[in-house]
Amino acid sequence: MKKVLGIMAVVAISALTLASCGKKCNCTYYEDGKKVSVSTYDDGATRFFQNSVCKDMSVEKHRGYSIVTEDKEVDVEVVCK
């Protein structure tokens, strides 16, 4: 009986440890190839266990308006990892 309880305790601790191994997702915003800002998607509740989910939030380079200079068109890119 003690062995069964011991095994159950080890399994429970292992499950808790593995469940808390999620990673934060950092998304870097670029304008004309220059880093402007970094956003971290980690509000304490959101964790990513598959890196592909975070990478899918990336946005390929395209023309758009600058968040730094009003009414200026720049190449915008967002890289998440």
Number of domain units in the chain: 1
Q: Is residue 12 in a domain? A: no
Alpha-helical (H) ranges within 1-81 are 2-19, 51-55
What is d(CA 75, CA 54) in angstroms, rounded to the nearest whole number? 22
Residues in the chain: 81
Q: Is residue 47 in a domain? A: yes
Q: Is residue 8 in a domain? A: no
Q: Is residue 33 in a domain? A: yes
Tell me what pLDDT residue 36 has.
95
Residues of the chain with pLDDT under 70: 2, 4-6, 8-20, 42-45
Q: Is residue 5 in a domain? A: no
Q: Is residue 6 in a domain? A: no
What is d(CA 24, CA 48) in angstroms, rounded to the nearest whole number? 6
Tell me what pLDDT residue 27 has.
93
User: Using an 8 Å Cβ cutoff, are 40 and 28 in contact?
Assistant: no
Structural domain boundaries enclosing 28: 22-80
Sheet holding 25-31, edge to edge: 34-41, 25-31, 73-80, 59-65
